[in-house]
Structure 1
Amino acid sequence: MGKKPFRPKGHSGLKHKASSKQAAPEKNVMEAFPMRLNKYIANSGLCSRREADKLIEQGEITVNGKAITEMGFQVQKNDVVRHAGKVLKPEKPVYVLLNKPKGYITTTSDPEGRKTVMELVKNACTEQIFPVGRLDRTTTGLLLFTNDGDLAKKLTHPSGNIRKIYQVTLDKPLTKNDFIAIVEGFELEDGPVRVDDLAILDATKTVIGIEIHMGRNRIVRRIFEHFGYRVEKLDRTVFAGLTKKDLPRGKWRFLSEKELRSLK
């Protein structure tokens, strides 16, 4: 059981060959007026449309200085839309995939002056993009950036059941009993844990492949720590069907048209 090749069930992501063709730009947002207010807010990168609806309902959005609570309100091309005093401007959607190296924190800024992932994609585009989800400082691998609030919400919300694949290097061999216990499921302090697939990838039984859709904090590390292992390396190799094929560590690329269609 422990020597099977790691081929996630029902998942062809590991065989995916990344296309170098960038996704075609969507219709210029400046030509799409009039535009529903919630779409305008989402296109500005502030949040998803559903979250925008809540901001509108709570009277937190103003158009030309007037608070708007009407759900179907249409924004005109020259209207000035603000949230918390900040002017919102819609941008064309951008999708950037990074192979994150170790030593960078997943945040848009850091008061302590530590290196952030934004430094690695600062030259990707002029639009204001942000990371989708998080990878901790020592974790490497795939991290998606976008200004598409709706897609970001879809990929991070638990109901999306987005599958992720990690390669884990442990400090000691994974035992047969622990392998079985992880596959069968177990409890952590914040609830049950179910993995989608698990495989031992080398003869030392210290390199493990794990496929999971749960998005709880540090969940992969906590799975192995629960059984007395220390995770020495953690690399996300697949995220929502995206792979790091032909994407060296520390480099980024735009999503292909095919990848974008698959995500949406």
Structure 2
Amino acid sequence: MSSPAFRPDERLVPMRLQRFLARAGVASRRGSEDLMTAGRVCVNGIVTTELGSKVDPACDRVTVDGVPVVLGAGATYIMLNKPAGFITTMRDPHGRPTVAELVPTRRYPGLFPVGRLDLDTTGLLLFTTDGDFGQALLHPSHHVWKTYLALVDGILEDDELEPLRRGIELDDGLCQPARCRLLTNREIRQVYSGRPPAYTTFVEVKIREGRKNQVKRMLSIIHHPVLELHRTQFGSLRLDDLPMGEWRELDSSEVALLKDDAGIS
């Protein structure tokens, strides 16, 4: 995991509670403030919502949703293999299933998803408590590649992908060039159980942007609507054999690779 948020020999002095939570890796500074105002943070057993409150890390006991918080734990980084049917949000006012139900929010109460996957899109979804890290991965200037596997309607020929490779025009502007290829029969057998539906094609699409429904819209424009969509890779991070609906923490080398992908230290 990431290095501790403080030096072992650093003198601990009273600090604002939201700063303490951020340094402990619970959430970003803004996310920590949201946890406080929601009444989820206690200091010495007392719910603390005042943003100017201070704590002494040497003697005060801080909990979030009843879970003790200590300095030095560092930020958390998690990968989920998202199933279909879950909204990419941590709370839904309409009570619909959300990805928050699939990750350890009690253990890491400041988790938030890095970007979004559509309701019916499956695959790799990142979560973190590190706000700067999440924003950097999504910032357009950092151009982090995302890889999708799409099952599309109709028999798609390779030359039909040329508009996507050049940069196709959507209703919200010109897309950056995508990397696209058709899957071989052997690859299809590895990723799809059973016999694919008749008159369908599997295509891999890599993009560096994150517009809403982008891959679906790109393929629809070339008259091959997406039937199923699955994200297999985010930057250097691969989903590999993580079971559907399961999550795991990233190790320090994986976090370092993602930071390198985004050009951040």
Does the alignment reach a TM-score above 0.5? yes
Kindly indicate whether the alpha-carbon contact (under 8 Å) linking 2:158 and 2:181 is maintained by their aligned counterparts in 1: no
| 1:63 correspondence with 2:52 | yes
For 1:120, the equivalent position in structure 2 comes to 102
Kindly indicate whether the alpha-carbon contact (under 8 Å) linking 1:142 and 1:244 is maintained by their aligned counterparts in 2: yes
User: Displacement, 1:176?
Assistant: 4.3
Q: Distance in 2 between the 1:208 and 1:77 partners?
A: 53
Amino acid at match of 1:169: L
For 2:223, the equivalent position in structure 1 comes to 228
Kindly indicate whether the alpha-carbon contact (under 8 Å) linking 1:48 and 1:153 is maintained by their aligned counterparts in 2: no
Amino acid at match of 1:175: E
| 1:111 correspondence with 2:93 | yes
User: Displacement, 1:48?
Assistant: 7.4
What whole-Å deviation, never above 9, does each CA across 1:36-58 have from its counterpart, x for those lacking one? 97965754524579xxxxxxxxx
Amino acid at match of 2:52: V
Percent of matched pairs sharing the same residue: 35
Matches within 5 A, 1:4-43: 23=1, 26-27=3-4, 33=12, 42-43=22-23
What whole-Å deviation, never above 9, does each CA across 1:11-42 have from its counterpart, x for those lacking one? xxxxxxxxxxxx3x632669764599796575
User: Displacement, 1:170?
Assistant: 0.2
Q: Distance in 2 between the 1:47 and 1:167 partners?
A: 36
**Shift in alpha-carbon separation, 1:47–1:201, aligned structure 2, 3 A:** farther
For 2:180, the equivalent position in structure 1 comes to 198
Within the candidate set 120, 135, 138, 1:156 is matched to 138
**Shift in alpha-carbon separation, 1:207–1:114, aligned structure 2, 3 A:** same
Within the candidate set 113, 118, 125, 1:136 is matched to 118
Q: Distance in 2 between the 1:198 and 1:124 partners?
A: 39
Q: Distance in 2 between the 1:35 and 1:200 partners?
A: 58
User: Displacement, 1:239?
Assistant: 0.5
**RMSD between superposed Cα atoms in Å:** 3.3
User: Displacement, 1:205?
Assistant: 6.6
Aligned residue for 1:63, secondary structure, equals coil
Aligned residue for 2:84, secondary structure, equals coil
User: Displacement, 1:246?
Assistant: 2.5
Aligned residue for 2:254, secondary structure, equals helix
User: Displacement, 1:238?
Assistant: 0.2
For 2:253, the equivalent position in structure 1 comes to 258
For 1:243, the equivalent position in structure 2 comes to 238
Gap regions ≥5 residues in structure 2: 32-49, 61-68, 186-198, 260-265
Kindly indicate whether the alpha-carbon contact (under 8 Å) linking 1:42 and 1:149 is maintained by their aligned counterparts in 2: no
Aligned residues, how many?
213
User: Displacement, 1:189?
Assistant: 1.5
Gap regions ≥5 residues in structure 1: 1-22, 50-60, 66-74, 81-88
Within the candidate set 158, 168, 174, 2:156 is matched to 174
Aligned residue for 2:203, secondary structure, equals strand
Kindly indicate whether the alpha-carbon contact (under 8 Å) linking 2:181 and 2:205 is maintained by their aligned counterparts in 1: yes
For 1:185, the equivalent position in structure 2 comes to 167
Q: Distance in 2 between the 1:47 and 1:250 partners?
A: 29
Q: Distance in 1 between the 2:219 and 2:29 partners?
A: 34
Q: Distance in 1 between the 2:14 and 2:116 partners?
A: 31
Amino acid at match of 1:252: W
Q: Distance in 1 between the 2:96 and 2:138 partners?
A: 25
**Shift in alpha-carbon separation, 1:35–1:260, aligned structure 2, 3 A:** farther
**Shift in alpha-carbon separation, 1:168–1:96, aligned structure 2, 3 A:** same
Aligned residue for 1:206, secondary structure, equals strand
Amino acid at match of 1:192: L
Aligned residue for 1:207, secondary structure, equals strand
What whole-Å deviation, never above 9, does each CA across 1:204-258 have from its counterpart, x for those lacking one? 7710001110111111111011222221110000012111123111111110121
TM normalised by structure 2 equals 0.69
User: Which of the pair has the greater relative contact order for Cα pairs under 8 Å at 6+ separation?
Assistant: 1
User: Displacement, 1:194?
Assistant: 2.3
| 1:92 correspondence with 2:87 | no
